[in-house]
Structure 1
């Protein structure tokens, strides 16, 4: 008396026949295949985008290292020119002081 339904039911509660069940399973299978193809395409696009981003990242890292090593020489030149300007300023001040004292 306590029977279990082994056949799938439609939304309205009617039991499907074997042809309808087979047709529904075929439609589900086709839909899953289409979805799988879409997902594969999306995965391929994301992999290509990832490769492009990795390449850009490497280029930017390379550029950063090039820019990081390039300013070392100009900074040294700036330090030397700053020292030279400081010494020149002190010498000018001392010269003006000597001229003021003699007058």
Structure 2
């Protein structure tokens, strides 16, 4: 949080931990049919981390390529989360 100059780094760290724990628990358990919400929450979080923490277009090589790979990984995980959201919303 400090490395990317976010304001209130402790608050952002707490929000990150909460997002990852609660979102993952909702996806894993589909508690009250809210797996889709956890998947969406995690997907939005991952997409926001690209411009905030992995802005590959602002770096020089070789860090640019490394950050680009991380951004691509995030996009692929978002694809899986979209599938999880769809499947969790289907009636059993």
Q: Give the TM-score band, short-chain normalised.
A: 0.3 to 0.5
Of the two structures, which has the highest relative contact order with CA contacts closer than 8 Å and spacing of 6 or more? 2
**TM-score normalised by length of structure 1:** 0.31
Please tell me whether Structure 1 or Structure 2 has the larger radius of gyration of its CA atoms.
1
